[in-house]
Amino acid sequence: MSKFAIGIDLGGTNLKGIIMDQQGHGRHVTRIPTEAHRGGSRVMENILRLIDELIAKEGSKEHLLGVGIGTPGFVGEDGMLLGGAENLPGWKGTQIYVPIRQRFNLPAVAANDVTVMALAESRFGAARDVKNVICLAMGTGIGGGIVIDGRLYKGTHGMAGELGHVSVDPEGLPCNCGQKGCIERYASANGVAEMAIRMCKEAMEQTAFVELVRSDESGVTSKLVYDYVCRMLARAVGMYCNIFAPDRIVLGGGLMMAGRVILDEVVKHAGSYCFSDIWERCKVVIAECGEDAGVMGAAAMVFDEFSQFQGYQIVTESRTAVPAH
């Protein structure tokens, strides 16, 4: 009997849901507003409403294995949002698994939204044929995800993968996290923009340079910025190589809309920041799952966690799965 999973991607603006099979074929893709400004319990109600809508479209929950959710922040093993979701007021402290279990008698699993994207890339995207994968999502900030032997690595209390906060320059730009020189300060959308502004300011003070810029403004400035971004990113990529010796490093997020320009430059330099034995066996590639990565990875988690699940046996308030015989 084939099984399906619900995957939900919790964004600041929209909740997106999918029903998907284990091979990554999805249907009933649905969006409703998150209503983040109305607080954590409203967000939870909307998640339940989205699950309702998906089940209604499917017609039955008979073949559903469970619900997977990608969310900003850290999720504890018991389904409590532990922190790190600053743009969702009141979401921290919310219990995610219990309401889903109570309303639908379905097991739930949640993890950080970027780590979930990494799982999608490793299962269905740019790293679907390998086992050990590092994924960087370079958007406003930088998030990371780690897939070890084909499974999502969440770390203690779901907090692993803060790959945007490794320092590539300990005396560099101060980061919101309290450190200096985090790669997020250089290779995120915000970081690139700030760097461009700073370089332009510096250029104003160097006459010869300004003349150069004036002679070919668009080209020179952006190239300077990108060279710098790529060099910093190459340092971080080299570091991930020495630590993980991964099969593949997947670069995604809005910044990678620039595509091969960044990729080629990073690949050119990263080898000088790690062991050649490791570098020769690692490929750096661009993400492939696009905007569906979140829901697909969330649904994929369900198959990983509950493929033996056969329904709750309500004995006490604690979650008890009856194993398959």
- From 156, 215, 313, 318, residue interacting with its own copies (rule: CB under 8 A): 156
Determine contact, residues 249/286, Cβ cutoff 8 Å. Answer: no
Could you say whether residue 168 binds its own copies (CB under 8 A)?
Answer: yes
246 touching its own copies, by CB under 8 A: yes
Q: How far is the CB of 38 from its own copies (least distance, A)?
A: 25
Task: Specify the residue for token string 């993968």.
Answer: 161
Residue 244 sits in the site that holds its own copies (CB under 8 A): yes
Other CB atoms within a 10 A radius of the CB of residue 155 amount to: 13
Query: Using CA atoms, how far apart are residues 114 and 111, in angstroms rounded to an integer?
Result: 8
Question: Least distance (Å) from its own copies to the CB of residue 308?
Answer: 17
Decide if 70 contacts 18 (C-beta within 8 A).
no
63, two tokens: 């073949």
Touching its own copies, residues 262-291 (CB under 8 A): 272-275, 277-278, 281-282
CB 145 within 8 A of CB 162: no
Q: Does 321 interact with its own copies (rule: CB under 8 A)?
A: no
Q: Give one word for 103, left, alpha or beta, with left for phi > 0 and alpha for psi -120 to 50.
A: alpha
Contact between 167 and its own copies (CB under 8 A)? Answer: yes
**165 is a site residue for its own copies (CB under 8 A):** yes
Q: 82 or 200, CB closer to its own copies?
A: 82
Name which of residues 40 to 59 contact its own copies (CB under 8 A).
none
Contact 137, 186 (CB under 8 A): no
> Out of 35, 169, 288, 304, which residue is the one contacting its own copies (CB under 8 A)?
169
Q: Would you call 10 helix, strand, or coil by DSSP?
A: strand
Q: What is the rounded (10 degree) CA torsion for 50, 54, 56, 59?
A: -160
Nearer to its own copies, 76 or 297 (CB): 76
Distances (CA, A) of 59 to 28, 52, 55, 111, 280: 11, 10, 6, 27, 50
Sign of CA dihedral 188, 192, 197, 203: positive
Q: Interface with its own copies by CB under 8 A: which range of 18-26, 163-171, 198-206, 217-225? A: 163-171
135 binds its own copies per the rule CB under 8 A: no
Kindly determine how many residues on this chain lie close enough to bind its own copies according to the rule CB under 8 A. 49
Amino acid identity, position 181: G
* 3-class SS of residue 93: coil
Interface segment toward its own copies; rule CB under 8 A; list 53-61, 158-166, 216-224, 290-298: 158-166
Site for its own copies (CB under 8 A): which residue of 161, 252, 253, 297?
A: 161
Contact region with its own copies (CB under 8 A), list: 41-49, 58-66, 99-107, 173-181: 173-181
Contact status: 82 vs its own copies (CB under 8 A): yes
Site of interaction with its own copies (CB under 8 A): 74, 82-84, 130-132, 144, 146, 148-149, 153-163, 165-171, 177-179, 235, 238-239, 242-247, 272-275, 277-278, 281-282
